[in-house]
Amino acid sequence: MSAYRPLALPDGARIGLLGGSFNPAHEGHRHISLIAMRRLNLDRVIWLVTPQNPLKASGETSALETRMSSARTIANHSRIEVSDLEHHIGTVYTADTLAWLVKHYGRVHFVWLMGADNLVQFSQWKNWQGIMNTMPVAVIARPGYSVAARFSKMAHTYSR
């Protein structure tokens, strides 16, 4: 594993956070990031590559360094940063990671980014309602998921 570099996030920065297994990273991740940067006027997007997705069996996931390398290759943009922060702070649940980030970078404006495919099962995530209360969440459309996302528990709960 490469040496950890702390995130350099200046006060007032607008940062999108895209978390996941990135197993493997693909153009959809990059597409979501580029759309979010443009539409939300973000300074940067950080891909948070999780050590292990709690909703997936460990045997389904490639080694963290392999996924980090793949993510760096696909990201290929000066304003998309790939980070293994969760590995270094000891979190695997998004709610815990976001709480840590807000605590340590309180003057940064974060937005949690997710594809509509994740919205469908978002209510299965640990403390999913806490995530919604921690920072704004932007859901980016993904082909084939619009109807299911619209009828998800999260969409119903937060429709207002």
- Collapsing DSSP to helix, strand or coil, 87 comes out as helix
pLDDT value of residue 88? 96
33 vs 46: CA distance, rounded Å = 9
What does the block give as tokens for 35? 């759309």
**Before 10, cis peptide (omega within 30)?**
no
pLDDT value of residue 65? 96
Edge-to-edge strands, sheet with 137-140: 80-83, 44-49, 14-20, 109-115, 137-140
pLDDT value of residue 52? 85
Q: Can you list the residues of the chain whose pLDDT is less than 70?
A: 1-4, 143-156, 158-160
pLDDT value of residue 152? 63
pLDDT value of residue 144? 65
pTM equals: 0.89
37 vs 43: CA distance, rounded Å = 7
